[in-house]
Chains A and B, each alone.
Chain A
Amino acid sequence: MNDEVRMKKLLKQAVRPVDVRAEPARDLWPAVLRRIDQDTGTDASVQSGWLWLDGALLAGLVVLGVSFPTTIPLLLYYL
């Protein structure tokens, strides 16, 4: 028996056997569904977070412009 064949035989004996005909011990579909829902929720919150931030910045600029009209040319300069 050559080295490679012997090593392969040893490897087969050493690696833990698993029952590949076994099924998962629990119904995994609810977990998959939860994961998809979480993902959708995360996407939505990230998107709404950006919208909220954009709105707040815009509102701040409007308030600044109304309160201190002289800052408008300065803001326009930096835009």
Chain B
Amino acid sequence: MSNGARVLVSVPGVDSDCVLFQQGDVDAFESLFRLHQRAVYSWILRIVRNPSAAEELVVESFWRIYRARATFDAARDFAPWARRIATRVALDWLRAQRPETELNEETMATLSASEKTNPGVAAEIRQKTAEAFARLPYKLRAAAVLAVVEEQSHKEVAEALGISVAAVKLRVFRAVRLLRKDLERHGIKP
């Protein structure tokens, strides 16, 4: 797919692929895709915890990235901009998932497997915690999984979610509080 001749004005410190991508050049977009797909995949995987879904969401993210190219500022870094779009895609996916379907066989198998790596916590408590976590509102879940489970900095999480650091801290706090209440309701005292 070619978009005809493009004018490339070389500006110091500005990636030429970014400039061409912004103009709709698919070859430049492929270069950016090859360079950033792994990071985008890894970030999405951190949020959705499902490798096959993460692959589909990478495709969706880069499609949205391509569509939004006119809003991209070529003088700025491509990676954080792409990450924000990928985060929105992952959040949309989380929102669309029904809590009862999130703990599918694949997840349960992983939970069983993780007993070996975390023998200190009873399997039942872990399972109930995972179920309670799946019932959390998707925005709280995303903030908690990134900040607590994946140990990403609050600043990084805030940038990806497009919210302030204080809002990230609040979401994590609320997630933990709701999780505790949910577990207590199910007879588990963490």
Q: Nearest Cβ in chain A — how far from B102, in angstroms?
A: 10
How would you classify the secondary structure of chain B's contact residues: helix, strand, loop or mixed? helix
B contact residues, range: 35 or more
Report if B158 contacts A (CB, 8 A).
no
Report if A53 contacts B (CB, 8 A).
no
Q: Are B33 and A13 in contact (CB under 8 A)?
A: no
Q: Are B117 and A15 in contact (CB under 8 A)?
A: no
Q: A3-B180, A7-B179, A7-B180 are in contact. Are A18 and B126 (CB under 8 A)?
A: no
Binds B, one of A30-38, A54-62, A64-72: A30-38
- Which B positions have Cβ atoms within 8 angstroms of A? 1, 26, 30, 33-34, 37-38, 41-42, 45-46, 49, 51, 54-55, 58-60, 62-63, 66-67, 107, 110-111, 114, 117-118, 120-121, 125-127, 129-130, 133, 144-145, 148-150, 173, 176, 179-180, 190
